Amino acid sequence: MPFLLDDEQREFARSLDALLTAADTPAVVRAWAAGDHGPGLALWRRLAEAGVFALAVPEAYGGVGPLPVETAVACVELGRHGVPGPVVESVAAGVLLGAVGGPVAKEWLPRIASGTAVVSLALEGHGPYALDADVADAVFTVTGDELRLAPGPGALTVSTDPARRLFRPEAGGEVPAAGPRVREAAGAAGTWATFATAAQALGCGEELLRATVAYVKQRTQFGVPVGSFQAVKHRLADTLLGLEFARPLLYGAAVELAEGAPGAGAAVAAAKVAAGEAGYATARTALHLHGAVGYTQELDLAWWLRRARPLRDAWGTPSACRARVLEG
């Protein structure tokens, strides 16, 4: 499928890149992991002003969506810069509540689009945890055909990435909607969550590759940059190929989502496998070529290294996504 971003979409990516570069996201991530959410929430509001959280919210509720291609563009940039917080969950919540409609959509969707509310989400079939539920103004859960507003963030569990805090939402809570419509909406929201996570994984891999290429140009051995060694060149070339093959799958899935194609779910699953595996492979390459310095927490790269594997597995493990591709 031939696909190129148009001028407006490329400018959107450049504007987000400039915004996030100026925001010093590594410092924001470190603060978030330490429990200081102030800088992250300030950045969240700036991203909302740029229109990021309105992309999956229907126009009837103050959004501009759903716009899958622009959502992919945004999530790649957010993944590349390592933006913390329940970005994927907010995207999926926009899809979920937009499809459910009613009072709960009228109450929460305008706030999600404007960035005045941070929400997290847990869906049956995608694991019991909600990301950064302690920061969220609302945690939505779907079990069976019931949409619930969790009464509290619940218990914290261990995560390999300190900037991705996973909580098991408390049971009970208000039930603002129920019925077959909720089950169908949850299926669509899960697909969008998988899609947005694939985009973040691709962006994470891009940043890991960029940082690694820069490093091997500077690090010397035997009087020459290690990047001049053929083995290093081949390793980086293989890494680049993995990311470049994942990109058209991601944007192809975006087109299918936009068109409402019957095979959109399988296309999203294929993109998630490719992007998640490529991002994780890039992390392994980055760690290998950085040597011992790659293990140090003082190096900003460490935060991207820690994120690659959770992104590979979140909202659809490789095996689950492969099974969905085969079913499709």
**Is pLDDT at 305 greater than 70 in this prediction?**
yes
- pLDDT, mean of residues 90-115: 98
**Is pLDDT at 320 greater than 90 in this prediction?**
yes
- In tens, the pLDDT along 195-217 reads 999 999 999 999 999 999 999 99
- pLDDT, mean of residues 301-307: 94
How far apart, in whole angstroms, are the C-alpha atoms of residue 184 and residue 198? 22
The beta-carbon contacts of 116-119 under 8 Å, at least 24 apart in sequence, are: 116/45, 116/48, 118/41, 118/44, 118/85, 118/86, 118/90, 119/86, 119/89, 119/90, 119/93
Q: pTM value?
A: 0.97
**Is pLDDT at 294 greater than 80 in this prediction?**
no
Q: Which residues contact 283 (CB under 8 A, 6 or more apart)?
A: 204, 205, 208, 304, 305, 308, 309
Least confident stretch, 39-43, 105-109, 272-276, 295-299: 295-299
**Is pLDDT at 79 greater than 70 in this prediction?**
yes
- In tens, the pLDDT along 269-281 reads 999 999 999 999 9
Work out the pLDDT band at 293, boundaries 50, 70, 90.
Answer: confident
Work out the pLDDT band at 297, boundaries 50, 70, 90.
Answer: confident
Work out the pLDDT band at 291, boundaries 50, 70, 90.
Answer: confident
How far apart, in whole angstroms, are the C-alpha atoms of residue 245 and residue 279? 12
pLDDT at 2: 56
How far apart, in whole angstroms, are the C-alpha atoms of residue 5 and residue 276? 22
**Is pLDDT at 164 greater than 80 in this prediction?**
yes
- pLDDT, mean of residues 267-294: 95
pLDDT at 280: 98
Top pLDDT among 1 and 289 is at 289
pLDDT at 296: 82
**Is pLDDT at 3 greater than 80 in this prediction?**
no
- pLDDT, mean of residues 321-328: 94
Percent helix, strand, coil in the chain (nearest 5)? 65, 10, 25
Angle made by CA atoms 100, 105, 107, in degrees to the nearest 5: 160
pLDDT at 328: 81
Question: For residue 328, what are its two tokens?
Answer: 């499709």
- pLDDT, mean of residues 225-237: 95
**Is pLDDT at 283 greater than 70 in this prediction?**
yes
pLDDT at 248: 96
